[in-house]
Structure 1
Amino acid sequence: MKIDTNSLVSITEANQNFSRVAHLVDENGAAVILKNNTPRYIVIQFSEYQAAQTARDDDVSTISQRILSKHLSAFEELAK
């Protein structure tokens, strides 16, 4: 993931001025909150989070179908 240096905010500043964090998210799509000068948290729009969750669920479904079809005979034997 590429991090825009304009999106970096210290945890102290985020705590004192969260509206700035929200403004950065609106402008850049994300804000990275630093704790001890290390990226620790990311703030994104809720719609982006939902899209990521949906993609993750789709990936799990696809992978599980592939595993089931590949090892169907073993699963049928175990089901007996």
Structure 2
Amino acid sequence: MNVNTDTMVPISVANQNFSKVARLVDQYGSAVIMKNNAPRYIIYEFNQADAMQAAADEDVLLSSQKLMTRNQHVYEELAK
């Protein structure tokens, strides 16, 4: 995952000035909240949630297809 350093906000700033975080999300599409100098939370616009979930489903299906192809001989043996 690529993170734009302009969207990184310390948790103390996010706690005291959430409107700044909201403006970053409006401008860049997401914001990363840092805790102990490490990325901890990602904030996206609400309307992006469905698209993110669909992508995750596609990833799972693609992985399943790869596993089934790789292990096709096992499935054929089990089907006997």
Q: TM-score, normalised by structure 2?
A: 0.73
| Partner residue in 1 for 2:68 | 68
Tell me, what secondary structure is at the counterpart of 2:9? strand
Calculate the aligned-residue CA RMSD, in Å: 2.1
- SS of the residue corresponding to residue 49 of structure 2 reads helix
Distance 2:40 2:47 in 1: 21
Indicate the residue corresponding to 1:25 in structure 2: 25
Relative distance call for 1:38 and 1:64 in structure 2 (3 A) is closer
CA distance, structure 2, for counterparts of residue 10 and residue 69 of structure 1: 45
In the other structure, the counterpart of 1:2 is 3
Q: How many residues align?
A: 79
Question: What percent identity do the matched residue pairs reach?
Answer: 48
Which residue identity does 1:59 align to in structure 2? D
1: CA distance, partners of 2:73 / 2:38:
49
Partner residue in 1 for 2:44: 44
Residues 26 and 12 of structure 1: CA distance in aligned 2, closer, same or farther (over 3 Å): same
Give unmatched runs, 5+ long, in structure 1: none
SS of 2:3's partner is coil
Aligned equivalents of 2:38 and 2:71: distance in 1? 43
Residue of structure 2 equivalent to 1:13: 13
Q: 5+ residue gaps in structure 2?
A: none
Q: Which amino acid aligns with 2:5?
A: D
Q: CA deviation at 1:33?
A: 1.0
